[in-house]
Structure formats: structure tokens, C-alpha cells
């Protein structure tokens, strides 16, 4: 009896130890089916909220709400052509927010949502980052970056799905350091 318990326990340890690690799951919600998608805060990005709001009076909007932890930058680009930027905000301070109105929200297309989390920076560096514009990611200095995360997203409605993240948030920091 005791030998079989040890055998099953060893089998369980091997099974759990060899299982593939899954990426962090992130959910995009449109719970009331009003075509407003929300990427809620999570354990990787902390208190960073991203909202995709099509059809406002000023056109579509993408809204970034940053929590009190760290300053962040965010861009939303076309997955097939990263030079097509739907939203780009190089610097949103802790506890601040930024809305981009009059933009295009790509429905039924793959997009990348990319977030950079900054180290604590001086005011001069903050102003430099703010001045970089929508293509800011290519001009960031390594010393400014604490982490970079991205997710591939597909926004859809009417098919029973409110949004899909294919791989969850991926830590891609190493791709941006020492380029």
C-alpha cells in the first residue's frame, strides 16, 4: 500500500514538473455587448487600464488609464504593419490618463498592444519622451526602460466573442534593450 502511494506521488511530481508553462492569460471584456472593449489591470501591468471605444461623437477613441505605480508608455499598432499606429502615447505618468479620439479602432484585424513600464525618471527625461511622438518605442534609451510587454489582440463583435488575446502578455523587454 505504501509503495503504491509513493509510486503515484512520484508520477504526480513528474507530471507537474514536465507540464508546459502557459502564458499569463489576459481577458478583453465587452460584457454588455456595447462594442466597448476593456483590457483590465492584471498582475503584470498593475493598474493599467486600456479601453477601445468605437463610435464616439469625435470618432473612435482609445483611452489609457494609468494607476499610481509607475509611468508607462503605450502604443497600439497593426500586427501586419507596425508602422500603422492607432494609438501612441510615449509617457503617461503615475495616476494620469490619456485619450486618443478621432482614431481608428481596427475591428476584425490583428493588432499589437504594447506597454513600456519606465524606471523612475527625471522631469527632463519625461519631457523628452513626451516629445518623441507616436513612434516613440524606437527611440527609447535602455536606461529608461524597466519592462516592455505586448499582446496580440483581435477585436470582434457579433460572433459571440468580445475579444481575443492569443498569447497573453509577453515580456519582450530583451528585444528593446541594447538594440
CA pair distance 109, 106, nearest whole angstrom: 6
Q: What is the DSSP string of 11-57?
A: HHHHHHHHSPPPPBP---B-TT-SS-EEE--BTTTBSEEEEEEEEET
3-state secondary structure of 70: coil
Question: Looking at the domain assignment, is residue 59 inside a domain?
Answer: yes
Partners of 87 in beta bridges: 76
Question: Looking at the domain assignment, is residue 108 inside a domain?
Answer: yes
Predicted pLDDT at 10 = 43
Report the domain count for the chain: 1
Predicted pLDDT at 163 = 59
The residue segments making up the domain with residue 108 are 26-176
pTM score, whole prediction: 0.74
CA pair distance 150, 176, nearest whole angstrom: 12
Question: Looking at the domain assignment, is residue 149 inside a domain?
Answer: yes
The CATH number of the domain holding residue 157 is: 2.60.40
Along the 179 residues of the chain, how does pLDDT read in single tens digits? 555 544 444 443 344 344 444 444 445 656 666 677 877 777 566 678 888 888 778 888 899 999 888 899 999 999 999 889 888 889 998 899 998 888 888 888 888 889 999 988 888 888 899 888 877 888 888 899 999 998 888 887 655 555 566 557 788 888 888 65
Question: Looking at the domain assignment, is residue 37 inside a domain?
Answer: yes
Q: Are 75 and 22 in contact (CB under 8 A)?
A: no
Amino acid at each position: 500500500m505504501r509503495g503504491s502511494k509513493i509510486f503515484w506521488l512520484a508520477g504526480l511530481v513528474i507530471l507537474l514538473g514536465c507540464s508546459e508553462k502557459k502564458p499569463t492569460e489576459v481577458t478583453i471584456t465587452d460584457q454588455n455587448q456595447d462594442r466597448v472593449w476593456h483590457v483590465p489591470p492584471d498582475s503584470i501591468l498593475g493598474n493599467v487600464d486600456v479601453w477601445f471605444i468605437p463610435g464616439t461623437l469625435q470618432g473612435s477613441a482609445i483611452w489609457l488609464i494609468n494607476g499610481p505605480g509607475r509611468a508607462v508608455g503605450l502604443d497600439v499598432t497593426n500586427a501586419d504593419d507596425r508602422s500603422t499606429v492607432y494609438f501612441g502615447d510615449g509617457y503617461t505618468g503615475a495616476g494620469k490618463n490619456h485619450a486618443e479620439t478621432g482614431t481608428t479602432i481596427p475591428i476584425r484585424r490583428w493588432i499589437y498592444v504594447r506597454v513600456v513600464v519606465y524606471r523612475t525618471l527625471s522631469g527632463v527625461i519625461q519631457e523628452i519622451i513626451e516629445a518623441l511622438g507616436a513612434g516613440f518605442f524606437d527611440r527609447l534609451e535602455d536606461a529608461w526602460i524597466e519592462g516592455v510587454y505586448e499582446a496580440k489582440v483581435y477585436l470582434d463583435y457579433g460572433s459571440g466573442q468580445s475579444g481575443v488575446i492569443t498569447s497573453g502578455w509577453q515580456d519582450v523587454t530583451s528585444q528593446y534593450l541594447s538594440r
